[in-house]
Chain A
Amino acid sequence: MKLQVNILNPFVIAAGEVLSSELGVNIKRGQLRLHRETHISEDITVLISLVGDVWGVVMISLSFETAKAIISRMLGEEVVDFNELAQSGISELGNVISGLAITKLAAAGYHGDISVPTLIVGKGSKISTFDIARIIVPLDTDVGTVSLTLAVKLTPKKTTKASSWQMG
């Protein structure tokens, strides 16, 4: 698979910008990794799907500790439990990152839309994106690592939905 850096970079840049502005610190990007095996979930995963010219799934994974520290700083008050407010805040963070990335993609000529976020809580589950390979981008903050997982590709030429059934 040829990596399409032009559709990946907007997500990496958006995540860096949003985290940096919410946390008020510089974000250091770690080593990118290409991952084909099934993804094993962290404590918290925000999952957002993409439809349009760019197609796939974006996941933002982090530990409870990192999530609580981020939310505490965003709200300006100590969040002790990963409660409903914190869940909503972390999901919104994923939404803002993906939304900004979509805006950057549109500026580059790729038009698409993002789904509502789904929040997956529980370490150790397998999350499969099937035939879409994943790029993992670790973003180091002063309160721990936020991993951005990108399973995105350019949309293949239109086929009718019914004909996508190729099993059997």
Chain B
Amino acid sequence: MNVKFLNPFVEAAYMVLESEVGLKAERGEISLNRSAYTADDITVLISLVGQVKGVVLYSMSEATAISIVSAILDQQFEEFDDLAQSGIGELGNVITGQAGQRLASAGIESQISPPTMIIGKGTMVSTLDFQRIVVPLDTDFGPLQIHLALREEGV
């Protein structure tokens, strides 16, 4: 697993959370995981295909997701309805898109897939033989995690 994928995602997440949500994020301690991820309430899954391939997961509690979406749309959400789901999916999409552009600037081209959302705590999500780097981000709305199960193609 290559750490050079890490910074583009962390920088993109900082930037998007600040510009879209008005939220400052602080990175916690990074860990490397070989085992399957046991899902939090909400997980956004986006695949990368190209010179870098694999899966990126964004996970958070429902309370954090509702706070984030309420801030994005400037409207208080009580439940994690379709609109809220769409907002969180789009947040993952924008962070991944920004990270993809940063990787492209570094000469690593990739395409990102549409987002998929998994709702349900305790589900097991396996990236199989791809190790996961887990980046915890602390925010005023609670913790978010970015999981990077990525590999550079042909290296």
> Do A and B belong to a common assembly?
yes
Q: How many A-B residue pairs have CB under 8 A?
A: 136
Instruction: State A167–B69 Cα separation when bound (angstroms).
Output: 10
Q: What's the least CB distance linking A115 to chain B, in Å?
A: 3
Are B97 and A130 in contact, with the CB atoms below 8 A? no
How many residues from B make CB contacts under 8 Å with A? Answer: 45
Say yes or no: is A109 at the interface (Cβ < 8 Å to chain B).
Answer: no
Say yes or no: is A30 at the interface (Cβ < 8 Å to chain B).
Answer: no
Report the stretch among B1-9, B24-32, B120-128, B137-145 that lies at the interface: B120-128
Q: A116-B47, A165-B20 are in contact. Are A130 and B118 (CB under 8 A)?
A: no
Q: What's the least CB distance linking A168 to chain B, in Å?
A: 6
Instruction: State A51–B116 Cα separation when bound (angstroms).
Output: 13
Are B101 and A88 in contact, with the CB atoms below 8 A? no
Say yes or no: is B108 at the interface (Cβ < 8 Å to chain A).
Answer: no
Are A162 and B117 in contact, with the CB atoms below 8 A? no
Nearest B residue to A132 by beta-carbon distance? B114
Say yes or no: is B90 at the interface (Cβ < 8 Å to chain A).
Answer: yes
Say yes or no: is B33 at the interface (Cβ < 8 Å to chain A).
Answer: no
Nearest B residue to A52 by beta-carbon distance? B111
Query: CB-CB contacts of B84-98 with A at 8 A, as 1s and 0s?
Result: 011101100110011
Query: CB-CB contacts of B10-46 with A at 8 A, as 1s and 0s?
Result: 0000000000100000000000000010010000011
Identify which of A57, A125, A129 gathers the most chain B CB atoms within 10 Å of its CB. Answer: A125
Instruction: State A88–B116 Cα separation when bound (angstroms).
Output: 21
Specify the main secondary structure of chain A where it touches its partner.
Answer: mixed
Q: With a CB–CB cut-off of 8 A, which chain B residues contact A144?
A: none
- The contact size tier of chain A is 35 or more
Are B116 and A116 in contact, with the CB atoms below 8 A? no
Instruction: State A130–B83 Cα separation when bound (angstroms).
Output: 10
Nearest B residue to A87 by beta-carbon distance? B126
Which residues from 103 to 124 on chain A have a C-beta closer than 8 Å to any C-beta of chain B? 113-122, 124
Specify the main secondary structure of chain B where it touches its partner.
Answer: mixed
Query: CB-CB contacts of B101-115 with A at 8 A, as 1s and 0s?
Result: 100000000011111
Q: A164-B94, A167-B87 are in contact. Are A122 and B20 (CB under 8 A)?
A: no
A-B contact pairs, 12 of them (CB 8 A): A57-B114, A87-B128, A113-B111, A114-B49, A115-B48, A126-B120, A129-B116, A130-B85, A131-B86, A161-B94, A161-B97, A162-B98
Closest 10 CB pairs of A and B: A125-B120, A49-B113, A115-B47, A161-B97, A122-B123, A49-B47, A126-B119, A51-B111, A119-B126, A121-B124
Q: Which residues of A contact B (CB under 8 A)?
A: 38, 41, 47-52, 55-57, 87-88, 91, 113-122, 124-132, 161-162, 164-168
Q: Which residues of B contact A (CB under 8 A)?
A: 20, 36, 39, 45-50, 53-55, 72-74, 85-87, 89-90, 93-94, 97-98, 100-101, 111-120, 122-130
For the A-B complex with A127-B117, A166-B90 known, give 19 more contacts whose Cβ atoms are closer than 8 Å: A49-B46, A49-B49, A49-B114, A49-B116, A51-B112, A57-B113, A113-B111, A116-B55, A118-B45, A118-B127, A119-B126, A119-B128, A120-B123, A120-B126, A121-B126, A130-B117, A131-B86, A161-B101, A167-B20
